[in-house]
Every structure is written in structure tokens, then in C-alpha cells.
Amino acid sequence: MAEALAAAHASDAHDLHVAHQFDDAEQQWGASTLGMWVFLAQEVLFFGGIFAVYIIYRTLFPDAFAEASNHLDVTLGTFNTAVLIGSSLTMALAVHASQVGHRGPLVAWILLTMLLGSVFLGVKVYEYAHKWEQNLVPGPWFQWHGEFPQQAQIFYSLYFGMTGLHALHMIIGLGIMTWLVLAARAGRFGPNYHNPVEITGLYWHFVDIVWIFLFPLLYLIGRHGHP
């Protein structure tokens, strides 16, 4: 009885991939997830600083911002929001699959998350290209045919800055998932160890949350109140 327990415990410790500085897998998991939350706290402040700039300029120039916002495609913006929320669902299901040790579904859900993320980025490329054609990219080539051209250019600086930074975070996320899906395929994750899947999920959900705020603040300012 004692030997069976000892043998089970030995193989258990071997499976758990517990690094030497941790007492057990629980502590390792706790440290791993808390570490990601601390990083995300920094990210809140990182994006938050730019959101603060947005808040200030929108407070100062509400009409110019509303008019500038109307040149963004609300259909594409809404579609992208749905796509990104969908990718959060698939990522959550990937974490779930890793918790129950289903390797096939785990790989499939990560791939699906990457696909949806790529769709989002593809739409953004299309949107950016269209903005370039409309001469709405800030710079010497910026042309505004309404009132308040300088304030409109500020709006578009914020649009490209904020969505660009967000898109960069998505590209980094896709890079991380590339490693993750290969590791998952190699069978490195299971019920007793799936920290990388979990913290990748936390990162991806955060990127989703940033867009949940970006979408209405950039796309939905002046849709009503048309003369």
C-alpha cells in the first residue's frame, strides 16, 4: 500500500513539471497566473495612458471627434468585435481542453483562435488601406473636407495609434500561440500542467477587453444626431 502510494507520488511529481523553486504544482500555478495578472495590470496602465489622451481631446473637441468618427466603417468595426469575442471563446475552450487533457481539441481550439485573430487583423489592414485612400492618415497628406481639420487629424492620430498598438499586441499574441500550438501538439500539456495555455488565455482575453473599449469609443461617437 505504502509502496504503491510512493510510486504514484513519484510518477506524479515527474508528470507535474514542478520547477525546483516551488513547493508543489499548486504554488507553481498560482505564481504563474499571478505573474501574468501583474503584467496585465501594467498593460492596463499602458493602454490607459492613451485612453486618457483620448478622453481629454474628446472632451475638448466633441463635435470634431463625432464627425471624424463617422468616417470609420461601423459594420466592419462591429464585425471585428464579434470576431475577437469569438476568439476569446475559442481560447477559453482551449484552456478547458487542456484542463481535462484533451490534446486534439486543445490544438484545434488554439488554431481556431489564431484563425479568428488573423481575420480581425485582415479586416484592420483593409480598413487602414481604405483610410489611406481617403487621405485620412495623419501627416502632410491628410485632407479634411469638413470643419476642424486639426482636431480631426488628432482623432485619426488616436485611431491609428490605439488600434495600431492593439494590433501589435494581437500579432505578438499570434506569435505566442504559434509556439503554444506546437507545444500542445507535442503533448506537453495535461490536467496536471497547462500553465502556458492558461496565461496565454489571460493575455488574449485582455487584448479582447481593450478592443471592447476601443470599438465604441472610436466607432460609435457620432452615429446619431445627424442633421
Q: Which is nearer to other proteins, 45 or 171 (CB)?
A: 45
Q: Which is nearer to other proteins, 37 or 179 (CB)?
A: 37
CB of 190 to other proteins, least distance (A): 10
CB of 206 to other proteins, least distance (A): 8
Cell of 26: 499548486
What is the contact surface with other proteins in residues (CB under 8 A)?
A: 25-26, 29-30, 33-34, 37-38, 40-42, 44-45, 48-49, 51-52, 55-56, 59-60, 74, 78, 81-82, 85-86, 88-89, 91-93, 96, 99-100, 191-192, 201-202, 205-206, 208-209, 212-213, 216, 220, 223-225
What are the residues facing 193 on neighbouring strands?
Answer: 190
139 φ/ψ angles, rounded to the nearest 5 degrees:
145, -175
What does each C-alpha distance from 1 to 5, 6, 9, 10, 12 come to in angstroms? 6, 9, 12, 14, 16
Q: CB-based burial of residue 68 (10 Å sphere; 0-12 exposed, 13-18 middle, 19+ buried)?
A: buried
Distance CA 96, CA 142 (A): 47
What are the residues facing 200 on neighbouring strands?
Answer: none
What are the residues facing 190 on neighbouring strands?
Answer: 193
Q: Which is nearer to other proteins, 164 or 216 (CB)?
A: 216
Q: Which is nearer to other proteins, 79 or 160 (CB)?
A: 79
CB of 132 to other proteins, least distance (A): 25
CB of 139 to other proteins, least distance (A): 26
- Per DSSP, the residues of 5-45 read HHHHHHHHHHHTT--TTSSSHHHHHHHHHHHHHHHHHHHHH
CB of 135 to other proteins, least distance (A): 25
